[in-house]
Amino acid sequence: MYLQALKNMMISKGLNRADVAKLAGVSRAAVSKWFRQGEETGVVNVETKTIFELAGALKLPPDLFLKKRENLSAYETEFLWDRLYPDMEHFLKAVAEGRLPALARLVQVLGFHQAKIVAGKKSVTLFDKYKKYIHPTRRHALEAVWQLYAN
């Protein structure tokens, strides 16, 4: 199992290691071992039965844990310069939830076109609500093209 896939799932579901242990039917020590092992290799040696148990409890497909996830730490400087979010997984969760500061950051960095690919139409339709979070110089530039994307 890929550790990054597990971490992403924990963040998106708001789970801690004890929760994961309970859902997977293993001890907390086993989950701690997964994290130690995974920090070195990125891959965790877990029994197939355990993956199915965890996936079933979360109502997720088991192969979700077996697909390698991109390490997003390379984007932290661009998106997390003020530490509003602790890491990229939390930032992307906020974007997916439609939190205004996260949408503002996404559009400020990527522009409307790329932000729409990442977050969908809400990155354009909610612009009036989140534009106050964007740096004034960038905000003025975005306001100039916003109507083109809104239509």
Domains and CATH numbers, the chain: 3-69 (1.10.260.40), 73-150 (no CATH)
The answer, yes or no, to whether residue 116 has pLDDT greater than 80, is yes
The confidence band for 13, taking pLDDT boundaries of 50, 70 and 90, is: confident
CA–CA distance, 136 with 94 (Å, rounded to integer): 22
* Portion of the chain with pLDDT greater than 90, in percent: 56
CA torsion through residues 92, 94, 100, 101, sign: negative
| DSSP single-letter state for residue 108 | H
Structure tokens at 107: 């559009």
Q: Specify the pLDDT at position 124.
A: 93
Q: Specify the pLDDT at position 20.
A: 95
Q: Specify the pLDDT at position 69.
A: 74
Q: Specify the pLDDT at position 136.
A: 94
User: pLDDT by residue (tens digit) across 51-106?
Assistant: 999 999 988 899 988 988 777 778 888 999 888 998 888 898 899 889 999 999 99
Listed residue (147, 8, 127, 2) closest to 73, CA to CA: 8
Number of C-alpha atoms within 13 angstroms, CB side, residue 28? Answer: 5
From the centroid of its chain, how far is CA 41?
Answer: 21
| DSSP single-letter state for residue 99 | -
Structure tokens at 12: 């998106």
| DSSP single-letter state for residue 62 | G
